A and B are shown apart, each in its own frame.
Chain A
Amino acid sequence: MDETLSRKGILGKIFVSMLYISAFTFGGGFVIVTFMRKKFVDELHWIDEEEMLDMIALAQSCPGAMAINTANLLGWRMAGFWGMLVSVLGTAIPPVTIITILSFFYDAFSANPWVALALKGMQAGVAAVFLDVVFSMGGNLVKGKSLLNWCILGAAFLATFVFGVNVIYIILGAALLGAVRPLWQKRREGAA
């Protein structure tokens, strides 16, 4: 950590860096996290490479948005509780501001027939992006060749799309299964 900076200076630097990265990074969480790594590992050397990888893995495993979670962990590591707070705020403020402004434009413009037509075309694009994500994420599952994973996938799909089960119950069910899975595997290894 840079000794020449005061505590306030560090907090300010974290806030401004996050604000800047979040405002100008388009694309998913991984893109934002890559820029965070560049800033705090490569440029400022406040975090070492291995720690950064651990933080990314942890951020992915927790609920919520990955970029926010990574900002949270980085903030704690660099400057404790207040570091976490300014880091998360810096990451959240740009999207919230931009969407607030855009949502007023949406009200004004979505009644316009040409804007509505363009939006309608984009809806087809949104459907394609969703199914593309499914195939990319699903492709990795196929490589795993786990029967249990396929059962979870099939059951979850039927529950959500055919039976309209509340999504939260599906997530809880899968999480519970994941929690008892190691015990079950251990027992099977013991019997073999």
Chain B
Amino acid sequence: MIYLQLLLSFLQVGLFSIGGGYAALPLIQNQVVELHQWITMSEFTDLIAIAEMTPGPIAINAATFVGIRVGGVLGGLVGTLGFLFPSLVIVSVMGFVYFRYKGLTILQSILSSLRPAVVALIAGAGLSILLQVLFAGGPMTLEGLNWVGGLLFCLAFGVLRKFKCNPILVMLLCGSLSLLAGLIGLPA
């Protein structure tokens, strides 16, 4: 029952992704790459690149994309609805409580402890992706190192930190430079 599994997986993602769009991604990686092995780490990274360059919340894009790859268009709908459902219920209830009683102290305290954990989780996911770029899932040796990928990463990271420019532009730049490197015959 692939649809049921998809639904359960994305219900969990939807329920526990607190703290911004990127917070959902370690959860999705955990569910679909590690636990269920529905897609590879490389496909997962492609998916984030695509999700980043299209409008809409990144988690919704990811849920739809993974769902379609696992179970076609119906799978996409099941994954997306699974992701949406917990937040629909929780936000509606919290909205009701909040506009009645205007109190958020415990919620804010929970949030302030969650934030460092979320940063750590995003760092973990980012490092997995970086290892995927540098060694393509192979052993971490100097011979196996993808130099072009490493240079592109350093360039992209430097540009992002220094100029705070749009991630979409950075990704397009990386894609074009990678094509250029391939055209002049550098190994990728």
Among B19, B55, B176, point to the contact of A24 (Cβ < 8 A): B55
Contacts of B50 in A (CB 8 A): 99, 102, 106
Residues of chain B within 8 A (CB-CB) of A179 are: 106, 109-110
Question: A108 contacts the other chain (Cβ, under 8 Å)?
Answer: no
A-B pairs with beta carbons under 8 A, tally: 346
Question: In the complex, what's the smallest C-beta–C-beta distance from A23 to chain B, in angstroms?
Answer: 6
Give the residue name and chain of the B residue nearest to A175 (CB).
Answer: B110
Partner of B61, one of A99, A133, A156, A164: A99
Residues 1-42 of B at the A interface (beta carbon under 8 Å):
12, 14-22, 24-27, 30, 34-35, 42
Q: Which chain B residues border A58 with CB–CB below 8 Å?
A: 91, 94-95, 98, 104
A99 to B54, CA, bound (A): 8
The interface residues of chain A, by DSSP majority, are classed as helix
- Across the interface, B45 reaches (CB within 8 A) one of A123, A178, A182, namely A123
A181 pairs with B113, CB closer than 8 A:
yes
Residue-by-residue, is A122-163 near B (CB-CB < 8 Å gives 1, otherwise 0)?
Answer: 111111111111110110010000001110111111001100
Contact A137 B117 (CB under 8 A): no
**Which residue of chain A lies nearest to B158 when distances are taken between CB atoms in the complex?**
A128
Instruction: Report B-chain residues with C-beta under 8 Å of the C-beta of A137.
Output: 20, 115, 118-119, 122
| Contact digits for A9-31, partner B, Cβ 8 Å, 1 yes 0 no | 00000000000001111111100
Which of chain B's residues have a CB closer than 8 A to the CB of A88? 84, 88
Min CB distance, B168 to chain A, in Å? 6
Kindly supply a per-residue 1/0 record for chain B positions 121-133, scoring 1 wherever the CB is within 8 Å of any chain A CB and 0 otherwise.
1111111111011
B129 with A127: CB separation less than 8 A = yes
10 new A-B contacts at CB < 8 Å, known A63-B18, A67-B57, A127-B153: A72-B87, A92-B84, A121-B176, A124-B149, A124-B156, A124-B178, A128-B156, A130-B129, A157-B120, A171-B118
Tell me the A residues contacting B by CB distance below 8 Å. 22-29, 32, 54-55, 57-69, 72-73, 76-77, 84, 88, 91-92, 94-96, 98-100, 102-103, 106, 110, 114, 117-135, 137-138, 141, 148-150, 152-157, 160-161, 164, 166-168, 170-175, 177-179, 181-182
Query: B residues within 8 Å of A by Cβ?
Result: 12, 14-22, 24-27, 30, 34-35, 42, 45-46, 48-61, 64-65, 68-69, 73, 76-77, 80, 83-84, 86-88, 90-92, 94-96, 98-99, 104-130, 132-133, 148-150, 152-153, 156-157, 160-161, 166-168, 170-179, 181-182, 188
